[in-house]
Amino acid sequence: MDPVVIFHTTSDIEARVVSALLDSRGIVSFRASGNPQAILPMTVNSLGEIRIAVPSELAEEARALIESHRETASGAKVVRLRDEFSALEARLGYRFHDQGLLEHALTHRSRAAEDVSGGVADNESLEFLGDAVLGLVVADVLFRRHAGRNEGQKSKIRASVVSTQSLARHAERLGLGAHLLLGRGEEKTGGRSKPALLADAYEALIAAIYLDGGLEAAAAFLERELDDAIEASAAGALAHDHKSTLQERLQALGRALPDYRLSGESGPDHRKVFTVEVVVGGEVLGVASGLAKKEAEQEAARMALQRLGE
């Protein structure tokens, strides 16, 4: 029943792959110190190796399972285990030089808190950096592609693109949740699908790419990832922010600011229709109806713009 060391490596990523592989087959494993008889809460021994041990009666099965998941080079030479993150990197369109950065980006604080060695860092600092890189890249894209938009419009587009909901959707599309390194408690409460965790990991991922490949690599990744979202938000801003456009048009003409007045309501309570008129200097420039007041106001503003020749 004594534990037997069946695998050793200097890569923490590889050790995690092996542990997860064994766990998937119901084989309990331990990280061991240099003495295979002393199972201690340590990640490495004095030689910098991580050793994984299993109960002696499961050693043969564990070794066979690990061998079945090794890659083989020409001449049947056994090399390192398949890369845990290769599929994710393919989806990212970016291959890390330092995979430790990618692992760091995916490590939630709940996982770091459970590591008794104190050698695991969570991704919160990377998240902070990634947020800054994200904001810079999106602002740069808007500056280059939408120079004609005013500051307020560009700010609204950027806010939409970098929102928690938007980033979480991008993270889901990449399958980021499946790769998060979570603590047991967070795992049990569905952390892999929580929008806030996904968005944070996405920002940390941006920082990891930036640190690994520089701003050019991070910008290329984000432009590929966010191109549709940026253009959709920009189109939506044009289509739906008629009120801001009307106000800017009136200011340019030296006229008074618009006033939106509710001129009527109709229909049952559960489906009321609101009629709104936009008045400028006592003159009604547009009248429109909608199921929501804001909807009616936007349509009234659009009609006013048409009347002004916009």
Task: State the catalytic residues.
Answer: 131, 203
Residues 167/203, Cβ–Cβ less than 8 Å = yes
Max Cα-Cα span within the chain: 91
Residues 177/193, Cβ–Cβ less than 8 Å = yes
Which residue has tokens 């099965």?
61
Helix (H, G, I), strand (E, B) or coil at 51: strand
Residues 307/285, Cβ–Cβ less than 8 Å = yes
Both tokens of residue 105?
Answer: 């980006």
Residues 183/197, Cβ–Cβ less than 8 Å = no
Residues 149, 162: Cα–Cα separation, whole Å? 18
